[in-house]
A and B are shown apart, each in its own frame.
Chain A
Amino acid sequence: MILFGFIFFPLLYIIVGFFPFPLKWKKVLALLTVGGNLVNAVNLIYKISHVGMIKVSPGSWPAPFGITLVADRMSAFLLLITAIVAVSIVLFSLQSVDRPRLERGYFQFLFGIIIGVNGSFIAGDLFNLYVWFEVMLMASFILMSHGGEQPQLEGAIKYLILNLISSFFFVAGIGLLYGKMGTLNLADLSNKISQLGDAKVILNPSLVLIVVGFAIKGALFPFFFWLPASYHTPVPVVSALFAGLLTKVGIYSLIRFYTLILYHNSAFWNPWILGVGTVSMVIGVFTASSQFDFRKKLSFHIISQVGYVVIGLGFFTLSGLAGALFFLGHNMFAKTNTYLVAGWVHKRKGTLDLKNLGDVFKESPVWSVLFIISAFSLAGLPPLSGFIGKYSLIKSGIEAHHLFISLVALFVGIFTLFSMLKIWIEVFWKPVKEGVKSFTIAGDERLMVTASGILALMSVLMGIFGVPIIDYCTEAAADLLSPEKYIRFVLNV
C-alpha cells in the first residue's frame, strides 16, 4: 500500500486544486501534501532497507498481466531524495512565485510533475512508465509556459516538440517490443529475452528507439538540445524543479532498462553507453564555459553531470553502479539548490546576466554560503557530497580498467570548478558595474532560506555520511546486478 501513497498524495492535491478554495488553504495543503509524501518516502526506505523490495499490483491482477508497481533500493533512494527536493521546492515557491501564478494552478502542475516522477521510479511496467512520462511532460510543459511571457513560450515550444519526439520513439519502441515479446512487464520482458538466445539481437531496433527516448529525456549527447534551449526561461524555482528531477528520471529509466533488458546484449550496448556518457560529460562543461547567464551556465552543466551517472552505468560494476546512484542523488540536491540561489538572485536583482550582477557576498553572506556549498559540491570538492560521488565513480573506473574515461571524468571536474568559480566571482565577489541600476525587492525570505538550507545541508550530510550512504547504494547496485532477484520477486516464480 505504501507505494500507492506516492501517487495518491500528489493526485489528491491535483483533484482538490480544481475546487475554488482560498489561496491560503491551497498553500497549506500543498505543504501538507509534500510533507505526507516525505513521511511516506522515509517510511519506504526504512522498510526497504529491511526487506529489499516491495511491490503492489493495482486491481490485484497478477504480474505480468496487470500493472505492477515495484520499489527496490534504488527506487526508494530516489523517491526519498525527490520527496526532500519537493519539500524545499514548495517552500521556496511559497515566497518566490507571484500571486497570479499561484492562483492559476501552479501547485497542481507542480504536483503533476511529482506524480510523474514518483510513478516513474516505481513503475514495473514499460507502458506504465510511458504514462508517467506523459504526465510529467504535460505538467512540465504547462509550468514552463505558465505565465505566458514571451521567452517562456519560445523555450516551451522547443521543449515540448523535442520531448514529444522522445515520447514518440519511446511508445513506438514499446509497441514494437510488445509485438515481438507479447509482454510489457519489465521483469517478464527480461525473463523472456534471456530465453531467446542469439535471436535477441532481433530486438535491437526496437530497443534503440526506447533508449533514444530515454536519452532525449535524460539530455544525453547528442539529444540534449531541448534542455539549454528551455531551462532558463520559466520562473526560477520551476527551473530548479526541472533541473533537479526531470533529466534524472530519464537517466533512472536508462539504468533500470539497462540492468534488466540491455545487459543481455551488453557487448553491443556497453561501448555506446560509455561513449555517450563520456562525450556528454565533456560537451556539458565545454558549452557551459561559454555562457554568461547564471541559469544557462547551470543548464549546460546538467548535461555533463548526467554524463557522469551514465559512465558509472557503463562501467557496470558494483562500485560503478553504486557511484552512479550516489551521484544521481547528490546531483538532485546540489543542482536544485544552485538553481534556487539563482532564483533568489533573480528576485533580488531582477537579472541573471553575470555581467550586470555583483556584490551579493557583501549583501547576503547567508545566500553566498548556501550557494558555495552546492557549487563546490557540484565541482566535487571534499568533504561535500559531490566529492564522494566523483570519487566513487573514478575509483570504480580505475578498478574496471577504464583509465581513460576515469581521467576524463577527473579533469571535467576542473572545468566544472571553473564555471562555478566564474559564477561565484561574477555574482558574489565582483562589485556591481557602475551605471547598472539595482533594484532590490525586500521581503520576507525565511521560507526561501529554509528551502535552500535544507538542500545545502543535504549536500553536506551526504558528504559526511558518505560511507553509510555509499554502502546503501552498493546494496542497491547489487540488486541491480542480479536481475534474476528482481524477476523472481515480481513474477513470484
Chain B
Amino acid sequence: MHQLLPYLLTSLLVVGLATPLLEKKLKYRTGVFLSVIPLSFFLYFLWVFTSLGKTESLIIPPIMELVRGGGLSVRLDGLSVLFGLMVSGIGVLVLFYASAYMRKYPRQGYFFMLLTFFMGAMLGMVLTNNLIALFIFWELTSVFSFLLIGFDNHLEKARKAALQGFLITAFGGLCLLFGVLLIGDIAGTYEISELLNKGELITSHTRYPLIFLFLVLAVFTKSAQFPFHFWLPGAMNAPTPVSAYLHSATMVNAGVFLLLRVNPFIGDTLLWDSVLPLFGSITMFTGALLAFGEKDLKRILAFTTISALGIMVLLAGIDTTKSIKAALVFFVVHGLYKGALFMIAGLIDKTTGTRDIDRLGQLWKPLGLVSFAALLSFFSMAGLPPMLGFIGKELIYGAKMQAAYFSNIILVFGILSNMLMVGISFYVFYQVFWPYRRVKKKVAIDGHYARSFLLSFGPVILAAFSLGLGLAPVRIGKYLQNAIYFIRAEEVAVDLGLWHGVNAVLILSIITVGGGILLFIFRKQVAFNVARFNNWLNKFYLPDVFDKVIKNYVKVASRQTDRIQHGYHRYYLITFFVITSLLVVVHLFANSGIAPELQLQPIKSYLLILFIVMAFAAGYAIFSSSRIAAILALGIVGYGIGLVYLFFGAVDLAITQFLVETLVMVIFVLVIYKLPVFAVFSSKASRVRDIFIALLAGGMMGMVVLKSNFFNVETPISDYFINNSLNLAHGKNIVNVILVDFRALDTMGEITVLALAAAGVVALLRLNIKKRENE
C-alpha cells in the first residue's frame, strides 16, 4: 500500500492534465469531484499513523530519479504526515470552496488543473525524503503559484504581483538548490534519512556558513520574512480560494517546513540560534503592526500571515524541544484559522462586493453560521481559550522564554505582537460582524452567496477543528511526538492542554489579552496612527521599490547594451582585430625565449624591386582619391603576389592568382560605374586610428607567419603525397591529385559552396519581396 504512494503522487499529474476535459463534463462540480483526491490522501495519512510508532519513520524507495541521487523517495514521519494532513485536508475544503467561488469565471478547467498541480507539488514537497526532490517540488510550487496569482491575467496588478512573487521565490529556490548541492558535496548524499546523523559533519565544515546563508535565503523568500515579505500581500491578487490555500497550508509554509526538515543536520549552531530568531521577531512584529493600518480584509489577513510566519521562523530558530513543539502546534493553529478567515473574506467579497472593513458592517445576522465560524477563528487568532490558538500561544510564550539569545527582547516583541493580534481580531470582527455597530450606509447583500453551502462549508469545518482540537488537543499529540523525535532526536511525552495551572505563561497571556483589549478600545487612534505610519512607509513601499529596481535595471541594461551592441560595424571590426592581434602579439613576445632564432637569408635583388613596387602600389591605393586608380594599384599588388609565387616555383598558385586578380579587377571596374561619387566621410582622427589598427593586425600576421617559417618539427604529410601521387593515385600533377583524390571531400565541400552561391545569387536577384509594413 505504501509503495503505491509515489505512483499516487505522479498520478496527480495525469489527473491535473485531465481536468480541462473533466470540466467540460462536470462544469462547476469539477472542484467537488476533484476533492476526492486530497480526501483520500487525508484518510491515508490518518491511517498511516495508526501503524507508525512514536519513533518510527517509513521510507519508500524512489520509483525514478530525475538526476543521479535525486530520486522521488518518500518519507513518512510525524512532520510529513502533519503537514500532509493540513495540505490535503485544507485542500479538500479549498476545492469545495473553489467550485462555488469560481463558478462565473472563464477557464475553470485550467484553474483546477493548476490547483491540482499545485497541491501535488506541495504534497510531494512535504513527503519526499530527498533534498533534490524537495527542491524540485519547491520550485514547482513557485511555478504554479505564479500561474495562479496571475490567473486574472487581464489585470495589470495580478501580472505584476505574479512576476514579483515568482522572481523572489525563484531566487530563493536557486539559493535552496545551491545550499542543497553544497550539503550533498559535503555529505555525499541527498537522502534526508541518511543526512540525519551527519549534522556534525556539515555544521563543522568550513562551508557551513555558506550553506546556512543560502538555506536561510530560501526560507526567508518563500516564507515572506522581512525584508522579503512584500511579495505576499501582492499575492492576494489570486482568486480567493488560492489565497486561502497559499496562506494556510501551502506555499509560504514551505519555508517553515524546510527549516524543520533540515534542522537535525543544519540547526543547533550559533548562526541558526541567532539569525532566525532575530529576523523572525522583526517579521512577527512588523506584520502585526502593519496589519492594523490596512482596510482591505484580505490585505489585513495577508499581513497577519506574515506575522505568523515570523513566529514560526522564530520558534524554529530558538531550537529547543519546546519551541519545535510550539512551532508545530502553531502551524496547525494558523492553518486552521487563516484558511477559514480567507474563505470568509472571499465569501464576504462575493456577498457584498467589497472587502473594505469600514464599509462593511453588521454581517452577523445575514451570514448566520459563517459568522459563528468567523468568531471562533478570530478567537483562535487572538489566542483565546478554548481554542487551539490559546494552546499554541501558551506554548509560544513558554518557548520564547527559552531563547538562547536576547530572550527578553524576543519576549517583549512577542507580547506586543500578540497584543496587536488580539486587537486586530477584535477590531476586524467588530467592524465587519458586530450587529450593533452603527454604519453610515448598509452594504447590499447578495443572499445567494451568503447562503451558499459550498462557500460556507470550508470555514465552518475549519472553525470546528480549531475549537475541537482546542478542547481535545491530545489528538495531534502523537504526530508531534514523532515529528519532534526526528527533529530533536529526543523522545518526549507531548501533553497539550488548555489548563496548566497559574504560571508565568498564563500571566503573560492575561497581560496580552488586556493589552489587546486596550488596543481595541483605542482602535481608531491606533489604526489612524498606523495608517499614517504606513503612508510614510509607503514612500519605501517595497513592491514599488522592487518594481523601480527592475525598471532601473532594465534602463541601465539598455543603456549598456546600446554601448556594447552599438550597431557600428566598424567598431565591431576594430574589436575583433585589435583583441585578436593583441592576444597573438602578447604570445609572440611571451614565448620569445623558446622561439627559434630568425635565420634570415639575403634577399634576391629582383624580389626586392618587386616588393618595393608592391609597397608603393599599396600606398597609392590608400591615398588615391580615384576609385579606378586605387583598384588598379591593388591589382598591381595582386599580380605582384602572383609573381612571387612564380619565382618560388608554385606555378599552379601563380596561375590561380592571376586569374582571380583579373576577374576581380573586371568586376570591380564594371561595378564602379554604378557607385556614387567618391567622398570622404571619416574624420582625420579616425583614419589615423585605423592606420594603427591596420598596421597592428598586418604586423601581427606578418610576424606570426615569419616565425612559423622557422619552426618545422615534423615531416609534413605532403611528403606522402609527393611519394604516392604517381604510384598509388596514378596522377602526375600532385596538386590535382590532392584536390580530386587525397582530399576530394574538401573539394566536394567547396563545390557545394560554389553551387549554393550560384543558386543564392539567382535567388537574390529574382526574389525581391517588398518590405512589409510591419517589419
Contact = CB atoms under 8 A, between A and B. Distances in A.
A280 to B, nearest CB: 12
Nearest to A178: B716
B757 A392 contact: no
Interface string A433-477: 000000000000000000000000000000110110010000000
B67 A467 contact: yes
B65 to A, nearest CB: 5
Given A138-B760, A407-B178, A290 B561 contact: yes
A395 B557 contact: no
B743 A209 contact: no
Nearest to B770: A149
Given A59-B742, A135-B749, A148-B768, A158 B572 contact: yes
A421 B596 CA distance: 57
A398 B573 contact: no
Interface stretch (A82-90, A252-260, A309-317, A410-418): A410-418
A238 to B, nearest CB: 13
B65 A104 contact: no
Interface string B550-592: 1001110111110011010100110111011001100110110
A382 B590 CA distance: 47
A365 B147 CA distance: 13
A225 interface: yes
Nearest to B754: A138
A363 interface: no
Contacts of B596: 202
A196 B591 CA distance: 15
B601 interface: no
B744 A350 contact: no
Contact of A184 (B560, B717, B749): B717
A381 to B, nearest CB: 6
B235 to A, nearest CB: 15
Contacts, number: 303
A222 B579 contact: yes
A199 interface: yes
A395 B755 CA distance: 47
B110 A365 contact: yes
A264 to B, nearest CB: 14
A351 interface: yes
Nearest to B68: A467
Contact of A109 (B64, B154, B760): B760
Contacts of B194: none
Nearest to B760: A142
Contact of B557 (A67, A108, A287, A428): A287
B518 interface: no
A101 interface: yes
Given A148-B764, A183-B716, A204-B587, A398 B181 contact: yes
Contacts of B712: 179-180, 182
Contacts of B588: 205
Given A182-B718, A212-B583, A388 B763 contact: no
Interface in A155-202: 157-158, 161-162, 165, 169, 172, 176, 178-185, 188, 192, 196, 198-199, 201-202
A165 B756 contact: no
A77 interface: no
Interface in B140-192: 140, 143, 146, 150, 153-154, 159, 162-163, 166-167, 170-171, 174, 177-178, 181-182, 184-185
A109 B759 contact: yes
B753 interface: yes
A251 interface: no
Contacts of A407: 178
B584 A181 contact: no
Contact of A351 (B558, B743, B764, B774): B774
Interface in B733-775: 741-746, 748-750, 752-753, 755-757, 759-760, 762-764, 766-775
A161 B65 contact: no
A484 interface: no
Nearest to A351: B774
A132 interface: yes
Given A181-B713, A289-B554, A201 B591 contact: yes
Contacts of B573: 161-162, 165
Contact of A149 (B136, B181, B565, B772): B772
Contact of B704 (A206, A403, A417): A206
Nearest to A201: B591
A287 B556 CA distance: 10
A138 to B, nearest CB: 5
Contacts of A147: 767-769
A51 to B, nearest CB: 23
B721 A148 contact: no
Given A176-B705, A382-B140, A202 B595 contact: yes
Contacts of A403: 210
B720 interface: yes
Contacts of B553: 289
A338 interface: no
A399 B746 contact: no
A388 B767 contact: no
Given A198-B594, A201-B591, A209 B584 contact: yes
A421 B139 CA distance: 15
Nearest to B167: A418
B159 A467 contact: no
A244 interface: no
B67 to A, nearest CB: 6
Given A149-B772, A149-B775, A365-B110, A388 B750 contact: no
B269 interface: no
A414 B170 contact: yes
B715 interface: yes
A11 to B, nearest CB: 7
B565 A410 contact: no
B587 A414 contact: no
B701 interface: yes
Contacts of B575: 222-223, 225
B587 A229 contact: no
A229 B565 contact: yes
Contact of B708 (A179, A188, A361): A179
B724 to A, nearest CB: 8
A66 interface: yes
Contacts of A209: 580, 584, 704
B749 to A, nearest CB: 4
A203 B153 CA distance: 59
B767 to A, nearest CB: 5
A60 B281 CA distance: 78
A287 B567 CA distance: 14
A463 B66 contact: yes
Give the top 10 A-B pairs by smallest Cβ distance, nearest first.
A182-B716, A290-B558, A142-B760, A131-B749, A429-B153, A290-B557, A382-B136, A104-B763, A182-B714, A287-B561
7 contacts: A131-B750, A141-B760, A146-B760, A179-B709, A182-B712, A182-B715, A398-B182
Given A138-B756, A185-B717, A290-B558, 14 more contacts: A65-B742, A67-B746, A127-B743, A135-B756, A150-B771, A158-B572, A201-B587, A202-B595, A289-B558, A382-B66, A382-B140, A388-B66, A429-B154, A464-B64
